[in-house]
Each structure stands twice: as C-alpha cells, then as structure tokens.
Amino acid sequence: MDKPRFSKTLRGVTCNLGETAVLECETEGSPVPSVTWLLDNQKLEKSARLETSSVGQKHSLTIKEACPDDGGLYTVVALNSKGQASCSAPLNLKLSLLGLPKEDSRPTTPGGTVLPHAPVFKVKLNKETQLLEGTSVRFELVVRGNPEPEVKFLKDGKVLKLDDRVRVVYESKEVFELILDHVVAKDAGTYTIIATNVEGEDKTVGNLSVVKHKDVFKGLELEEVEREPTPRPKTPKFRWFKNGEYFEANERFQVIFNEEEDSLALMFQHVTPEDAGLYTCVASTSSGSKIACSAELTVQGVIRQVEAPSIKADLTDAEATEGGSAMLELKITGYPKPKVTWFHKGKEVSTGGRIRFLFADEETFTLVIKNVTKNDGGKYSVKATNEMGEAESTCNLTVLSAPSFVKGLKDMSVMADELLKFEVEIDGNPAPEVKWYKDGKPLAAGDRIKIVDKAGKQSLEIPKCKPTDSGSYSCVITNDLGNQAEFSNVVVKASPTFVKGMENVKGVEGDTLKFNVEINGNPKPTVKW
C-alpha cells in the first residue's frame, strides 16, 4: 500500500471568457486515492457548469462557459488511508471581442511584420496566491517582445535560486512555466519576473503565502464530511442603457470586465451614426445596492462601410538577374485594412536581410528582394485577410543567370578502339547553347561523333577512337548573359603495329640494300633492328 502521489500534475491554463477550460492530473497510490477539487483553497461549489471526472487514476475538471468568478488557483487533493498529496495550477481568463478574430496586440507594419517593441506580459502572476504546504504548483506565463526579451526571476528582491525543486520550463520563446515542487514554508514571499530588451521592460509581481493543510481544509479526511464551502466574493452585475432604454450587446458590441484592474468597457466595432446617444452603466451588488454612470457618444466624420479584401491590381510575373534586385507589387483594398501576408513556394516570407516590404500608399504593397539568388525563383503569393473575408494573388519570379559549369572537362588518356566520351553539367537561365571544338575547329554530330543533350547534361562520344583523335577539345556554353568554356587535352594511345612489313630485296655484291617498314603507335614506338 502506498500513499498518494501525482504522476502528472496540474498545468496552468489560459482561456477566453465564455470558453471551456479543462484541468487534468494523474495519481498513483494504493488503495486508489479519492480526489477533491479546491479553488483558492476553498472547496468547489457544485454547479451545472462544472464537471469532475475520475477514470481509474486519471482525473479532470471541466469548466464550461468560463466567467470571471472561475479565475484563480485550482488545487486537487488526493487522499487514501496511507496519506494525502496535492498539486495546484492557475486558471487565467482573457477577454475576447465578439465578432473579431483573436487579437495579436504586437505592433506590426501594414503587411503584418512584427515591429520592435518593449516586452509585455500577456499572462501574469496572480497578485495574491495561497499555497498548501507540500503541494506542487505550475504558474504559466506569457511574455512578448521584439527583440526576444531576457527574463529574470527574483524572490524578495534577490535572484531566485533554481534547482530540481524550483525550476523554469520553456515551452516556446514566449511561453514558460515557473514550477515549485513540494512547496515548503520558505517558498513564501514576493516573486518578481522581469522581461527586458533594448526597447524597454515589463514585470509581473505576485505574493505567495504558504499554509498547512489543516489550516485550509481541516476535517477533509478519507471519509470526507460534507460541509458548506466558504462563498467567494461575487462579481457585480452590470446593465447598460442607451437613451434610457435597456441596451443589449450584439455582434458589433462587447462588454469587457477586467477584474484585476477593476475596469469595465463597452467596445464598439465599426461605429455607425445610429450608435450615437447617451449610454448609462448600472452596477448592482448582491446586497442590492446600485451605482450608475453615463457618457455621451458622438459620431463624426464619414462612416466607411466594412469591405472584404479585394485585389485592385494583381501580381504579375517578373524576371530578375542573379545578383540583381527583384520587385513584386500589387494593390489591395478593404476595410478594416487587411492583414497582408507574402508566401514563397507555400512558406511565409519574413522581412530582414535581403528582403524588404514597402508601402507606397494605403493600397500598394511591394516585396523587394536584393542580391537575388537562384533559390529566390518560383511561385509567390499574397493573402489579404480581414474579418469580412480574404483575397489572394499569385505570380512567378524567374531568375536569369549567366552560363556556368557544374561539372567541367578534364584531361584524358584512352586506348585506341575504346570509347572517347566527354561529359559536362551546365547551368544558366535561359538555357545555354552548347558548342564543341577540337583544336579550335567546330565539331558536329556525324558518323563517328555522337552529341547528346539531356536536361542540363551534355556529352560528346567518339566510338572506337583513333590516335588521330588526340588533341585539345573544348566545350563553349553561351546565353544572353555571357559565355564560359572548359578544355580537355586528350591522348589516344595505340599499341605498335606494322602498317607495312619488310619485303625481300635482291642485290649484288657492293650494292646498298634498303629495307622499308611503316609502323603505327602512340606514343611513338621505339624501333630496333
């Protein structure tokens, strides 16, 4: 029999208000532990929106239609006859605008390129967190900045000492977790996380307190005694009125309550003249008291109708010389102003180095590529999107290059009657014209010479070569951007042979006799009589 422990602890979760959040963990122990869920160290109230599940030793808590009251530190306590264990993690709630895509608050160019900006924590530490002694907790944090910020961790103003129990785990450059295993009393204190880059800094601060189990859920033993949970403070209820009449949010409006900053906002999307009027917010508390405030909305100027992106002037096919510059341009209309993304062969194009995005006016978008290489050639596409729709345009960039040899010629020595073969691999756009020469004179395909052209590979073949085929061969490639040549010195070797042998000679005493022979061979044979 073993006391409970967690083989998989809770992990921090971030979700939008109104969405579903799921917290999961896995336990070990014998007998199989029972689990109890706490929120801010108070037993969870029963609710139709909350569902708990235990299958074997896998446990989960599902929170439907998350509301501000659901945010906080969740703890799961595992109990059996041998003991107990617990782990904790926060649920962070974000605000979402109805009818709008999930917002990326990073500053960008009109084309969507992220600009340099100071770090901003998108998910922060809770201002006050109370942990159970012995529990394990994971705090999820998200920080964004460009350039990538340096992150420092402090406790009570001093650098936080990290070890196997207190550690930081990065899921990505922006998302990381501060993990405390088996929390002890000395973990209590003020934690500060500072993110810094050349543009500035941001920080998040949270106070951590540690209490013993008996101080929080005294009487929560194996045979669990039901008791009424301590109620959590309720968020005030708000109602909005326009010109004295009840006003209900719809797809163009969103009411946002920020509990951390105690602020309330009514967000308008695509304001129209009909939206003008006196708006009143009435807040009611559970005790029945009410407070109200009002503000006048005046709509001025020309109201522009929303419009899906449209391509006013398409991308057109373009040519560029290797080492030169290329420019691709199009015109796009739409309101709100579309986000424009460039793609090359299906992969998103990022600005920097040789690549720049230009914006001549509100409608013109230009991609400039300097020091063009062969790899820059191919299909380019642009996708423009806003909440009303999207539009796309494509083109092809052709990169022109001077002729060059990928594989050149080399000197050769072959035996007579063998195959003499020259091979080269060439590159260039337009495709180069290829010409062969021997001792400066052009060669053409014929009975003894075979020339093969196959997808960038060129060859010249002479079957059953002869010593007379020895010499200097060259291959010259040419296109509109220039020419290049490769050379090969060839020696065709042949064994000595008698072309004409000796013949009988007659003479008388005193005559001079002469014997004639004709020989062939390469290198030139040595003759002995």
pLDDT for 491 beyond 70: yes
Beta bridge partners of 384: 340, 391
Residue 477 lies in a domain: no
Same domain, 73 and 159: no
CATH of the domain at 167: 2.60.40.10
Sequence-ordered strand ranges (E) for 115-272: 117-123, 128-132, 136-146, 150-155, 158-159, 166-170, 175-180, 189-197, 200-211, 237-242, 245-247, 253-258, 263-268
- Greater model confidence, 41 or 391: 391
Mean pLDDT of the chain: 83
- Other CB atoms within a 10 A radius of the CB of residue 43 amount to 20
Residue 203 lies in a domain: yes
Which range is least confidently modeled, 87-101, 295-309, 449-463?
Answer: 87-101
Same domain, 323 and 291: no
Residue 473 lies in a domain: no
Assessment of whether the complete model's pTM goes beyond 0.85: no
pLDDT digits (tens, 9 = 90+) for 393-409: 999 999 999 999 999 99
Per-residue model confidence (pLDDT) at position 228: 43
CA distance 126 to 134: 20
- 250, 279, 297: which is the final residue of a domain? 297
Per-residue model confidence (pLDDT) at position 529: 75
- Greater model confidence, 253 or 63: 63
pLDDT (mean) for 486-508: 83
Same domain, 255 and 319: no
Long-range contacts of 166-173 (CB under 8 A, 24+ apart): 173/148
pLDDT digits (tens, 9 = 90+) for 176-198: 889 998 889 899 999 999 999 99
Taking alpha carbons only, the member of 474, 483, 322 closest to residue 408 is 474
CA distance 282 to 291: 6
CA distance 195 to 41: 30
Of the pLDDT bands very low, low, confident and very high (cuts 50, 70, 90), residue 289 is: low
- Other CB atoms within a 10 A radius of the CB of residue 174 amount to 16
Same domain, 395 and 338: yes
Element (H, E) at 496: strand 482-500
Same domain, 89 and 53: yes
Residue 337 lies in a domain: yes
Residue 344 lies in a domain: yes
Per-residue model confidence (pLDDT) at position 367: 92
Per-residue model confidence (pLDDT) at position 293: 76
- 385, 401, 417: which is the final residue of a domain? 401
Same domain, 293 and 312: no
Q: Which two tokens stand for residue 473?
A: 């061969």
- Other CB atoms within a 10 A radius of the CB of residue 356 amount to 14
Same domain, 124 and 88: no
Number of domains in the chain: 4
Of the pLDDT bands very low, low, confident and very high (cuts 50, 70, 90), residue 461 is: very high
pLDDT digits (tens, 9 = 90+) for 105-137: 566 655 556 778 889 988 888 888 888 888 888
pLDDT for 471 beyond 90: yes
Same domain, 385 and 338: yes
Same domain, 315 and 384: yes
- 62, 94, 126: which is the final residue of a domain? 94
Same domain, 315 and 263: no
Residue 102 lies in a domain: no
Per-residue model confidence (pLDDT) at position 108: 62
Residue 188 lies in a domain: yes
Same domain, 126 and 90: no
Find tokens 């012995």 and name the residue.
134
Residues above pLDDT 70, as percent of the chain = 86
Same domain, 261 and 286: yes
- Greater model confidence, 26 or 271: 26
Residues above pLDDT 90, as percent of the chain = 37
- Greater model confidence, 514 or 366: 366
Per-residue model confidence (pLDDT) at position 234: 52
92, 142 Cβ separation under 8 angstroms: no
Residue 504 lies in a domain: no
Domain with 253 in it: 216-221+232-297
